[in-house]
């Protein structure tokens, strides 16, 4: 069976080490070790843009419907009792009891002390709760989750995370790892994040970017090429001049299936 609750509790006592690991992950000789977790074959994920303010072109399948499709297709679903990131950081802004949703047959391995089986309806309610709380979904195939949750078959599950900007391990200090492994955490094709309107260069957007991809040039914010499409900068912008949009004709679902679901069977 999977990882026990007492093992999780012990690991959470060492949580702060994740910050240290991300800061040195691209430095020889640590890069090879980091690759066991962060390389493209061990970490493949994308943030799913579900903010209500994002306009969805008529020709594009709504991101919310994409997540519903994965929930419905999964042969088994397991809701994790708590978010390890928020528990490890002691989060006080978002619910700690809103954990990941594991999709696929391998999620049966999760120990009952760590997670519970869920029906399609219960999983949909969990998704709704995460979105209502303002959390950002990230769909991924992550080797670290196989180890953390103690599931046996890496090819038989995906993880749907509900990430907060303050605690999530992949929403901060990721520049070195993403720089070393640029195909691990990737913006969906067709998702655009751009500065529009009257930017005054206040800098609110700069510190919240998980890959340090936003900088100020004079009185204007500039979003670089490493953007992972999380929209953290747009949420932080009090003037509303940073927008997340989806290009007409974008094939978001196909992009996810091609990159994240290749070699994975959740049905």
Per residue in 134-175, pLDDT (tens digit) is: 999 999 999 989 989 999 999 999 999 999 988 888 887 787
Q: How confident is the model at residue 1 (pLDDT cuts 50, 70, 90)?
A: low
Least confident stretch, 4-13, 206-215, 250-259 = 4-13
Instruction: With CA atoms as reference, report the closest residue to 234 among 223, 220, 248.
Output: 223
C-alpha 160/C-alpha 102 separation (Å) is 6
| pLDDT average, residue stretch 61-84 | 95
Q: Which of 7-11, 97-101, 192-196, 211-215 has the highest mean pLDDT?
A: 97-101
Residue 29 CB neighbours (<10 A) = 7
Top pLDDT among 25 and 266 is at: 266
Question: What tokens were used for 83?
Answer: 């978010």
Domain ranges of the chain: 5-186+249-259, 191-246
Check whether 18 has a pLDDT greater than 90: no
Report pLDDT for 13: 73
C-alpha 182/C-alpha 175 separation (Å) is 10
Q: What percentage of the chain has pLDDT greater than the value 90?
A: 60
Contacts for 9-15: CB closer than 8 Å, 24+ residues apart: 11/84, 11/148, 12/84, 12/87, 12/88, 15/84, 15/88, 15/89
C-alpha 265/C-alpha 154 separation (Å) is 10
Domain 191-246 has CATH 3.50.30.30: no
Mean pLDDT of the chain: 89
Top pLDDT among 61 and 104 is at: 104
| pLDDT average, residue stretch 206-223 | 92
Report pLDDT for 21: 67
Least confident stretch, 50-54, 63-67, 212-216, 225-229 = 50-54
C-alpha 224/C-alpha 94 separation (Å) is 29
Which tens digits make up the pLDDT trace of 109-138? 999 999 999 999 999 999 999 999 999 999
Check whether 267 has a pLDDT greater than 90: yes
Report pLDDT for 30: 66
| pLDDT average, residue stretch 232-250 | 92
Q: How confident is the model at residue 8 (pLDDT cuts 50, 70, 90)?
A: confident
Check whether 265 has a pLDDT greater than 90: yes
CA angle 79–82–88, rounded 5-degree value: 145
Report pLDDT for 22: 66
Report pLDDT for 92: 93
């Amino acid at each position: 069976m999977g990882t026990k609750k007492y093992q999780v509790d012990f690991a959470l006592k060492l949580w702060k080490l994740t910050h240290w690991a991300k800061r040195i992950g691209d430095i020889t000789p640590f890069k090879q070790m980091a690759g066991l977790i962060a390389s493209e074959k061990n970490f493949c994920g994308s943030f799913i843009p579900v903010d209500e303010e994002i306009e969805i072109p008529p020709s594009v399948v709504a991101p919310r419907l994409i997540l519903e499709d994965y929930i419905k297709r999964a042969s088994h679903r397991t809701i994790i009792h708590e978010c390890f990131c928020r528990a490890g950081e002691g989060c006080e802004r978002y619910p700690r009891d809103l954990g990941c949703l594991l999709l696929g047959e391998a999620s049966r391995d999760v120990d009952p002390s760590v997670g519970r089986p869920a029906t399609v309806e219960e999983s949909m309610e969990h998704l709704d709760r995460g979105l209502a709380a303002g959390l950002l979904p990230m769909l991924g195939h992550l080797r670290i989750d196989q180890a953390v949750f103690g599931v046996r078959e890496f090819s038989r599950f995906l993880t749907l995370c509900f990430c907060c900007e303050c605690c999530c391990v992949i929403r901060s200090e990721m520049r070195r790892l993403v720089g070393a492994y640029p195909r691990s955490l990737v913006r969906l094709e067709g998702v655009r994040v751009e500065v529009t309107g009257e930017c005054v260069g206040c800098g609110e957007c700069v510190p919240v970017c998980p890959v340090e991809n936003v900088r100020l040039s004079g009185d204007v914010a500039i979003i670089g090429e490493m953007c992972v499409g999380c929209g953290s900068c747009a949420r932080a912008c009090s003037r509303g001049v940073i927008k997340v949009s989806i290009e007409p004709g974008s094939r978001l679902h196909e992009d996810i299936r091609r990159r994240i679901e290749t070699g994975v069977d959740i049905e």
